[in-house]
């Protein structure tokens, strides 16, 4: 099912529940759609950073292939700062991830596999955590689940800059900082995703002429 359609169905269901509650209240008061959504989420016990997540009717930024990848400066769980600008000359693969996202967790082994496969090539992999559950402890999670990719604590601004509306979302950025590939997960088929990401990475890698490489 399309992720946006899934969100719409969830919202319709939650808003319906909230409206039933309001119908029983007295006196009658005027409510907004946003207020209804927030209350519905509360009734459904959704413990997410709803203030950060784009709602189905929110307009999100549209990124295009060939456009400049927005710069970011994020920290690892250990406090080390990583910036996209300092990674010029390398292919950068981003996995926008959330702790409550089932497909995100299911596809972690695939991302680990790609990290190990390209460890001797100029490719860097990052898992960017966004919109975490309020109780999520990244240090505890990484202690239990070792990730091969560098885990970064994401920010709402980065998610907005990259137009994230569903997860996981993958970006491949070429050595000159241009967006080479975007993949918003519409299924958790690991084989299909692996093929697409590998093709995008190989295409973005610097081409070689003899023993010397150059950027196109």
**pLDDT over threshold 70, residue 49:** no
In this prediction, residue 132 has a pLDDT band, given cuts at 50, 70 and 90, of very high
The average confidence (pLDDT) of the chain is: 79
In this prediction, residue 100 has a pLDDT band, given cuts at 50, 70 and 90, of very high
Mean of pLDDT values over 23-51 = 45
More confident residue, 120 or 187: 120
In this prediction, residue 36 has a pLDDT band, given cuts at 50, 70 and 90, of very low
- Order of all β-strands in the sheet with 150-153: 81-83, 73-76, 150-153, 123-129, 91-97, 169-173, 179-184
Dist CA 83 CA 204 (whole Å): 19
Mean of pLDDT values over 77-99 = 96
Cβ-proximal residues to 150 (8 Å cutoff; 6+ apart), any chain = 76, 82, 124, 125, 126, 127
Could you identify the residue written with the tokens 């959504």?
37
Closest CA relative to residue 101, chosen from 34, 48, 163, 35:
48
pTM of the model: 0.72
Least confident of 30-44, 116-130, 183-197: 30-44
13, 91 Cβ separation under 8 angstroms:
no
**Structurally, what CATH architecture does the domain formed by 73-207 represent?**
3-Layer(aba) Sandwich (3.40)
**pLDDT over threshold 60, residue 162:** yes
């Amino acid at each position: 099912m399309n992720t946006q359609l899934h969100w719409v169905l969830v919202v319709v269901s939650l808003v319906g529940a909230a409206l039933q509650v309001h119908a029983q209240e007295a006196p009658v008061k005027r409510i907004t759609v946003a207020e209804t959504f927030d209350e519905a989420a509360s009734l459904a016990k959704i413990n997410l950073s709803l203030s950060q997540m784009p709602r189905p009717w929110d307009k999100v930024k549209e990124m295009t292939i060939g456009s400049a990848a927005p710069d970011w400066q994020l920290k690892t769980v250990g406090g080390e700062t990583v910036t996209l600008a300092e990674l010029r000359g390398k292919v950068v693969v981003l996995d926008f991830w959330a702790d409550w996202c089932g497909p995100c967790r299911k596809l972690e082994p695939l991302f680990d596999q790609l990290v190990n496969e390209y460890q001797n090539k100029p490719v860097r992999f990052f898992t960017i955590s966004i919109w975490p559950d309020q109780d999520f402890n990244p240090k505890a999670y990484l202690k239990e689940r070792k990730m091969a990719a560098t885990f970064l604590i994401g920010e709402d601004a980065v998610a907005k800059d990259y137009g994230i509306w569903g997860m996981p979302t993958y970006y491949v950025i070429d050595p000159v900082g241009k967006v080479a590939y975007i993949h918003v997960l519409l299924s958790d088929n690991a084989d299909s995703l692996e093929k697409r990401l590998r093709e995008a990475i190989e295409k973005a890698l610097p081409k070689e002429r003899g023993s010397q490489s150059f950027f196109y």
